[in-house]
Every structure is written in C-alpha cells, then in structure tokens.
C-alpha cells in the first residue's frame, strides 16, 4: 500500500499545503480510512488517541466541499469543548491552501449570541458539542439541510456522557443521503447501536488500538484493603519523580480528594471533572499544557480532549472499566516514538481485568512491589512556569506576537522567559517563568498591548 499523501486523489491545494506542513506519509488510520472516505463511503473506525484520525476526516471533508457555497457542508460532533477546538484548529491548518474556508466551533462556555452572528454570515464546516449544536438547531440559528458529511469523533465518550438522544435528534436535521463517519477509541455495544441508526453499510476499520510495546513501560501494583492508597501513590511519585503526569480516578469526589492530598504535599496538582465550570476547566487544562501545573487528576469523561506532548507518566489510581479504555488512557504517554511510563493500582478482586488487558495487548501485566521511600524524604513538584491572565483576547484582536512584543520591550523579560500563549475569545493566558511573572503582570497593567490597556494578574 502506498502511504504517501501524494498518491491520493486530493485537490492540488491540499497536497501543496500538506507538503508545507510536512505531512508526507500517512499514519495507519489515515492510509486505511482516507481512500474510503474520498470514495464517499461510510466508515466506522476504531483508533487510539494520537493516531491522526482528525487529519483523515478533515482532508476528506475539505476535498469535497465547494468554497464558493456558504451552506454548511460538514458537521463534526465531539464530546468536549477542548476536543472540538482541537479539531477545528487542525481543520483550519489543513485548509490553509484553500480560499476563504470558514470553520466555526459551537460549544458551551462561549457566547451564544456571538455564535449566532457568526453563523448568519455562513460557514463551510461546523465543529461542536451535541448540546450546543442542538440548541442552535432548536433556535433555528443553524441550518444543516445542506450537510454532506457528518462525523462523530470519540463517539464512545459522547455516549458515556449521555449524548445518544441528542446525536439522533441532530441527525434528523441532516439529509439522509449524507456520508457518515464514526470514530471511536473503544468499541462498546452501544457504538454498534448508534452506527446502525446513522451509518449506511459502513466499512469497519480497526487499527492502532494498542500501543508499541517498546514505547510504554507498564507496571501494576496490588493494593489490599489495609493499604493506604494515597501513600502508595506518593511513594511512586517520590521514587520516579516525573515532571508531569495524569492520574485517572473513577469518581469526581475521588479526583478532588487525590488532588487535595497531593497539593498539601507541595505537589502542584489540580483535578478536572464534570463539576468544574467551563472557565475553571479551561484554566486547569491550559496550565497543565503550558507547564504551570504538574499533575492533573481526572475522570475518564473529563479527560477526553486532552492532548499533551511529552507526558512522562500516566497513573491509574483505579483500573479502567475495560481493557480498551485502559489502552485509551495509557495512549497519552509514549507518543511520537518517545518513552512512556504507566503505573496501575488494582485490588485483588480485579485480577480478571489484568487478564483482559493481557488478552488485548498480548503482553503480560508485570507486577512489582510498592517501592520503599524514607518518610523523611519529601517530594516537591513545583512546575517550571506560572500563568498570567490578561482580560483581552481574540475579541480585541490580540495575537501572541503582540503580547511578546509588549512584554520584552524595555524590561528584563526575555523571549526565553515566555512560554505558551493561549488566546481565547475574551481572555488570554501567558506562561511566564516564576522569576519574571510579577514583572510581566506589572508591565501589562501599567503599559499597553497593541495600544490598549488591559488588566492582568495570576491565573
């Protein structure tokens, strides 16, 4: 099989842009699914996180749309706002070679009136969460009568979050002769039910559902009822000392309790679960991404849409509900050929889950005794960056370059002191080294960015 993008019947503008962004060879999921999607076939695909599925369905959508039409050509549904924004960003990057392609995100946590106004000017692609998309349909501010392609991304998590009825309702607004694509990291029974309702004679693809054994070291630790689970977690972190890690918990309360336990021991941890308001969730995820937060404690549903490079460690405080869900969790480490580490805590009654994982991965679940550490040996994990908040964003036409220029002008702040800059609609987060953050805040408050004054502070 030829895995070069140039072998596909893609528009010349798309092929040229793929060269410019250095996309030459297709990943396995792209090589298997993209030719089928370009032939207008429905696809039901199972692929792990980070496999390149967004580029696959993104290219298929862009290749078939008519830029001169202002009708919505494609709809992508995602479980979370973060994933929807990631998908929209990737589609915009793939569309750079085409003229005037408009992609809109419709998610909670953003101004509904702003979204309505944006839709009134027309769009080619809409990426959104089921709840907000359905709300716009009910308000009649969104017209899906010309949609040619419907994509369900991370469909398993949308079903876990209770979106089944919403998805079916949204589907009723779309012409029945559309092309339908469904991507899922795991393949529970309700995925088949959803597929039967929406897809027509789909081609099933199952690829990249496990990870390269050489990339990820997986260790299992048995926890008896008499053991202190938090103490075991602390010993593991103390011994291996990762710079950043994600800890998976079963419940929202458990995620909060674990994060509080670690934070009291000077490990900069925060939880992310369904109880967080959208602005709190955005703040936590941005800090974790820009290295202002060292440990993220999450539930499975809340963690969807998190895509962090160079993640050293994943900890399963509780085992995942299934072997496939376990595979999806650990796929957040050991990416792009780098080494990853996974620790899993399990109760003796869960030994059958280890057997399921062994059957799927074709590898033994290696068990080790909990490492011993001295009680006097304290483990502090302070992140290398801190985050500054600015009360201006895309609405004010702020760009990262504007902020860098303002911060480095007539100050001791250098480019090396500035990390990731995340510009949102109404606000901006800037990662700054701890020794310069107070100076950066003072510079914004008492100076100007793009000839405007803004408020600033610690995020």
- Does pLDDT of 13 surpass 60? yes
pLDDT band at 372 (very low <50, low <70, confident <90, very high): confident
Q: What is the residue extent of each domain of the chain?
A: 5-206, 216-361, 386-458
Same fold, 216-361 and 386-458: no
pLDDT band at 49 (very low <50, low <70, confident <90, very high): low
Closest C-alpha among 373, 338, 371 to residue 217: 338
Rounded to whole angstroms, the Cα distance separating 187 from 41 reads 20
Enclosing H/E stretch for 351: helix 351-361
- Does pLDDT of 223 surpass 60? yes
Q: Looking at 26-40, 43-57, 198-212, 315-329, which range is the least confident one?
A: 198-212
pLDDT band at 185 (very low <50, low <70, confident <90, very high): confident
Share of the chain above pLDDT 90, in %: 63
Give me the half-sphere count of Cα atoms (radius 13 Å) on the Cβ side of residue 261: 17
Higher pLDDT, 424 or 365: 365
| C-beta atoms surrounding 50 within 10 Å | 17
- Does pLDDT of 209 surpass 60? no
Burial 373-405 (b: 16+ CB within 10 A, else e): beeeeebebebebbbbbbebbeebebeeebbee
- Does pLDDT of 322 surpass 90? no
The fold adopted by the segment(s) 386-458 is Alpha-Beta Plaits (3.30.70)
- Does pLDDT of 212 surpass 80? no
Mean pLDDT of the region 233-254: 91
Higher pLDDT, 45 or 49: 45
Strand-pair category, 428-432 with 386-390 = antiparallel
pLDDT given for residue 336 in this prediction: 61
Would you state the CATH architecture of domain 5-206? 3-Layer(aba) Sandwich (3.40)
- Does pLDDT of 377 surpass 80? no
Burial class (CB in 10 A: 0-12, 13-18, 19+), 265: middle
Supply the DSSP string of 37-75, one letter for each residue.
HHTT--EEEE--TTSSHHHHHHHHHHHH--TT--S--EE
Burial class (CB in 10 A: 0-12, 13-18, 19+), 203: middle
Rounded to whole angstroms, the Cα distance separating 345 from 229 reads 8
DSSP state of 246: E
pLDDT given for residue 379 in this prediction: 78
pLDDT band at 47 (very low <50, low <70, confident <90, very high): confident
pLDDT band at 381 (very low <50, low <70, confident <90, very high): confident
Closest C-alpha among 129, 49, 141, 47 to residue 88: 129
- Does pLDDT of 376 surpass 60? no
Mean pLDDT of the region 129-147: 96
Mean pLDDT of the region 87-99: 92
Q: What is the mean pLDDT of the chain?
A: 89
Rounded to whole angstroms, the Cα distance separating 168 from 178 reads 14
Mean pLDDT of the region 394-410: 91
- Does pLDDT of 105 surpass 70? yes
pLDDT given for residue 271 in this prediction: 93
pLDDT given for residue 287 in this prediction: 93
pLDDT band at 371 (very low <50, low <70, confident <90, very high): confident
pLDDT band at 297 (very low <50, low <70, confident <90, very high): very high
Rounded to whole angstroms, the Cα distance separating 299 from 246 reads 10
pLDDT band at 303 (very low <50, low <70, confident <90, very high): low
Rounded to whole angstroms, the Cα distance separating 46 from 61 reads 19
pLDDT given for residue 197 in this prediction: 94
Share of the chain above pLDDT 70, in %: 94
pLDDT given for residue 304 in this prediction: 62
Higher pLDDT, 200 or 157: 200
How many residues appear in the chain? Answer: 459
Rounded to whole angstroms, the Cα distance separating 416 from 407 reads 12
- Does pLDDT of 126 surpass 70? yes
Q: Looking at 172-186, 224-238, 299-313, which range is the least confident one?
A: 299-313
pLDDT given for residue 206 in this prediction: 86
Q: Structure pTM?
A: 0.73
- Does pLDDT of 12 surpass 70? yes
pLDDT band at 195 (very low <50, low <70, confident <90, very high): very high
Rounded to whole angstroms, the Cα distance separating 38 from 25 reads 17
pLDDT given for residue 239 in this prediction: 86
Q: Which long-range contacts (CB under 8 A, 24 or more apart) does 369-374 make?
A: 369/221, 370/221, 370/232, 370/235, 370/236, 371/235, 371/236, 371/239, 372/235, 373/235, 373/238, 373/239
pLDDT band at 325 (very low <50, low <70, confident <90, very high): confident
Strand partners, 456: 390
pLDDT given for residue 80 in this prediction: 86
Q: Kindly report the CATH number that applies to the domain delimited by 216-361.
A: 3.40.50.300
Rounded to whole angstroms, the Cα distance separating 192 from 134 reads 23
Mean pLDDT of the region 290-317: 83
């Amino acid at each position: 099989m030829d895995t070069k993008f140039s072998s596909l019947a893609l528009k010349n503008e798309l092929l040229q842009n793929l060269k410019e962004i250095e996309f030459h060879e297709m990943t396995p999921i792209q090589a298997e699914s993209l030719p089928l999607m370009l032939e207008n076939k429905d696809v039901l695909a199972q692929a792990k996180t980070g496999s390149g599925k967004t580029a696959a369905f993104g290219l298929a959508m862009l290749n078939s749309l008519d830029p001169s039409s202002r009708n919505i050509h494609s709809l992508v549904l995602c479980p979370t706002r973060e994933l929807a924004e990631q998908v929209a960003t990737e589609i915009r990057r793939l569309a750079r070679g085409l003229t005037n392609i408009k992609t809109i995100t419709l998610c909670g946590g953003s101004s509904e009136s702003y979204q309505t106004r944006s839709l009134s000017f027309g769009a080619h692609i809409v990426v959104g969460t089921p709840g907000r998309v359905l709300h716009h349909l009910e308000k009649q501010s969104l017209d899906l009568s010309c949609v040619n392609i419907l994509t369900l991304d991370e469909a398993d998590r949308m079903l876990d979050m209770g979106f089944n009825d919403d998805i079916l309702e949204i589907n009723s607004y779309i012409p029945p002769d559309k092309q339908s694509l469904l991507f899922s990291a795991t393949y529970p029974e309700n995925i088949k039910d959803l597929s039967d309702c929406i897809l027509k004679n789909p081609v099933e693809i199952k690829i990249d559902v496990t990870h390269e054994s050489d990339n990820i070291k997986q260790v299992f630790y048995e926890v008896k009822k008499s053991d202190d689970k938090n103490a075991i977690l602390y010993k593991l972190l103390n011994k291996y000392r990762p710079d950043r890690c994600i800890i998976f918990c079963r419940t929202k309360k458990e995620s909060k309790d674990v994060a509080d336990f670690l934070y009291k021991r000077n490990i900069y941890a925060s939880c992310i679960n369904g109880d967080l308001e959208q602005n709190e969730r955005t703040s936590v995820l941005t800090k974790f991404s820009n290295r202002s937060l060292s440990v993220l404690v999450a539930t499975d549903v809340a963690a969807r849409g998190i895509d962090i490079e160079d993640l050293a460690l994943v900890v399963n405080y509780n085992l995942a509900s299934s072997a496939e869900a376990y595979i999806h969790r650990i796929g957040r480490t050991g990416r792009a050929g780098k080494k990853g580490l996974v620790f899993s805590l399990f109760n003796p009654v869960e030994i059958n889950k280890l057997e399921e994982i062994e059957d799927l991965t074709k590898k033994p679940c290696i068990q080790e005794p909990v490492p011993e550490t001295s009680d006097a040996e304290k483990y502090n994990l302070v992140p290398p960056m801190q985050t500054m908040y600015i009360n201006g964003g895309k609405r004010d036409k702020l760009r990262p370059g504007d902020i860098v220029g303002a911060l480095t002008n007539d100050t001791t702040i250098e480019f090396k002191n500035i990390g990731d800059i995340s510009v949102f609609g109404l606000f901006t987060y800037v990662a700054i080294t701890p020794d310069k953050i107070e100076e950066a805040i003072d510079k914004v408050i008492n100076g100007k960015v793009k000839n405007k004054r803004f408020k600033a502070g610690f995020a």
